[in-house]
Amino acid sequence: MSSVIAWSEVEVGTELPSLNVPVQRATLVRYAGASGDFNPIHWNQDFAVEVGLPDVIAHGMFTMASATRLVTNWVGDPGALVDCGVRFTRPVVVPNDGVGALIEISGVVGAKNEDGSVRVDITAKCEGVTVLAKATALVRLA
């Protein structure tokens, strides 16, 4: 599958369509099963609080994957993703209230490279607070 977005049609400052990712406790259990990460801070409220967290938190890699999904949704080809990176700044707290948390993700083209790739600068927030810093993805476009 080739990229849907053409390099020649993208400019620095191009905004990607935003992505909202709801996260509930069941989401974390499914992610734990898929990833093999069964750390109790992601499913056991008593344990999470005992180790100093406010509540159960989402897996950092789940949050990163959600941010990367913004980019792969935009480009139309997950294989176009060349590189990605983030710094985890704050955990996504997932209360057991039937609603959970909402990760709000946006992105903008921050650089356009002569090799046909672009750098996307990603913002990920939960309850108005940034949860990922220096979140970027490099994608090769058609």
**Domains of the chain, first to last:** 7-140 (3.10.129.10)
Note the pLDDT tens digit of each residue in 71-114. Answer: 999 999 999 999 999 999 999 999 999 999 999 999 999 999 99
Instruction: Say how far apart CA 103 and CA 131 lie, in whole Å.
Output: 9
Instruction: Say how far apart CA 9 and CA 46 lie, in whole Å.
Output: 51
pTM over 0.75: yes
Q: Are 106 and 18 in contact (CB under 8 A)?
A: yes
At 1 the pLDDT is 42
Instruction: Give the number of other Cβ atoms within 10 Å of residue 43's Cβ.
Output: 18
Instruction: Say how far apart CA 70 and CA 132 lie, in whole Å.
Output: 14
Q: Are 18 and 104 in contact (CB under 8 A)?
A: yes
Helix (H, G, I), strand (E, B) or coil at 106: strand
3-state helix, strand, coil split of the chain in percent (to 5) is 30, 35, 35
Strand 101-112: give its sheet, edge to edge: 19-23, 101-112, 117-126, 129-140, 81-88
Percent of the chain with pLDDT over 90: 96
Q: How confident is the model at residue 39 (pLDDT cuts 50, 70, 90)?
A: very high
pLDDT higher than 60, residue 116: yes
At 19 the pLDDT is 98
At 142 the pLDDT is 86
At 2 the pLDDT is 46
At 20 the pLDDT is 98
Instruction: Say how far apart CA 89 and CA 57 lie, in whole Å.
Output: 13
Q: How confident is the model at residue 4 (pLDDT cuts 50, 70, 90)?
A: confident
State how beta strands 129-140 and 117-126 pair. Answer: antiparallel
